[in-house]
Amino acid sequence: MKKMKKLISLMCVMAMVFSLYGCGNKSEETESNDKGASSDKVVVKYSVTYPATGTQADGANALGKYIEECSDGRMSMEFYPSSQLGDKSATFEGLKAGTIEMTECAATDLSGFNDMWSVFSLPYLWENGQQAVNTVMDKSVREVLEADAEANGFIIIGWTDIGSRSVLNKTKTVNTPKDLKGLKLRCMEDTILAESVNAMGAIGTPMAASEVYTGLQQGTIDGLDHTPSVVVSNGWEELCKYFSLTEHFTIPDPVFVSKAWFDTLSAENQEAIIEAGEKFSDDWNNNIWPDATDKGLEAMKAANVEIVEVDKEPFKESVQYVIDDFLDGASDGQKELYELLIEVRENY
């Protein structure tokens, strides 16, 4: 009888254990299946081409803080500069697949997904970077750009003013388009950008950003175009001693995340990443970037780079036919975006 009682008691205990174990499994299964509700911190891999130091890197670190703050610590950012996870093409592929969560690039880089983005390649489209970023962040423009980005697998969470690109070279002083003759200038891998550089008198040489320093050392290129802050961040002022303020390209940079990844997040975390992007954009465009150009120019002068003020009109005249040819052969999408940008930029 005693043995029977012990057996029954043991069976009851085992039943309670299995019951608790079953409840625990059910709870864990519910949690893991709840969209983005896992107790594990969500990691956001941020893949970019720019280096680990400099103004853009400072911005990346600020963005990481906003992501953590806005998500109350549920999300954290891992920063992968200098194309550590691959060049832009590889990063785009990663975002499409959801294996890389976030990147930043020039707006023109998205022309591979829809040709309307090529409008951003046109020279002298803006008076300055502030006008450009204010225009693209205007509600009427944002709706168009964000809708197309999402259709191609990306969610834009912010826009950054990255200034206006000017001619940097290691060979000679450039005052006019004639002075550019024979100079091989690196440009981004975009047909319109290359055509514009050629129209100004140089030889446009498409090249990835990660190859520029070596290209300058080996003589593959004589120079490039970029902003003072980015020049100093990459150390190009060590090799090039002539900087002419042509300010011919002004291309804002969107910051965006993978839609495939974004769709796996809880609504709470989706709101957090959007809020972080908005706070970062405000901080970058109003605090981080405004001083960057002046500091970049000061650093270049300290490195004995000759800073040349130029008359921009001859440069504008030299590229006008590129703009005219583009508009003559533009697709409907390109024409619509161009007209929208021209209309909205007047407000800024």
80: domain CATH number is 3.40.190.170
Closest by Cα among 312, 306, 317, 291 to 163: 291
**pLDDT band at residue 31, thresholds of 50, 70 and 90?**
very low
Secondary structure in 3-state letters for 157-210: EEEECCCEEEEEECCCCCCCHHHHCCCEEEECCCHHHHHHHHHCCCEEEECCHH
Tell me, yes or no, whether 240 and 335 share the same domain.
yes
Question: For residues 294-313, b (16+ Cβ closer than 10 Å) or e, as one string?
Answer: eebbebbeeeebeebebeee
The CA radius of gyration of the chain, in Å to the nearest whole number, is 26
Pull the structure tokens for residue 47: 């893949």
pLDDT in tens, 50-86: 999 999 999 999 999 999 999 999 999 999 999 999 9
Compute the average pLDDT of residues 235-251. Answer: 98
Q: Do the domain assignments include residue 172? A: yes
Q: Do the domain assignments include residue 176? A: yes
Tell me, yes or no, whether 276 and 147 share the same domain.
yes
The number of distinct structural domains making up the chain is 2
Percent of the chain with pLDDT over 70: 89
- Cα(338)–Cα(120) distance, rounded to whole angstroms? 9
Edge-to-edge strand ranges of the sheet holding 42-47: 75-80, 42-47, 102-104, 253-258, 154-160
Tell me, yes or no, whether 223 and 140 share the same domain.
no
Tell me, yes or no, whether 211 and 275 share the same domain.
no
pLDDT in tens, 186-212: 999 899 999 999 999 999 999 988 899
Domain, as residue range, for 306:
164-251+292-345
pLDDT in tens, 110-160: 999 999 999 999 999 999 999 999 999 999 999 999 999 999 999 999 999
Pull the structure tokens for residue 318: 């030299």
Tell me, yes or no, whether 233 and 296 share the same domain.
yes
Mean pLDDT rounded to a whole number for the chain: 90
Q: For tokens 């890197």, what's the residue?
A: 57
pLDDT in tens, 310-342: 999 999 999 999 999 999 999 999 999 999 999
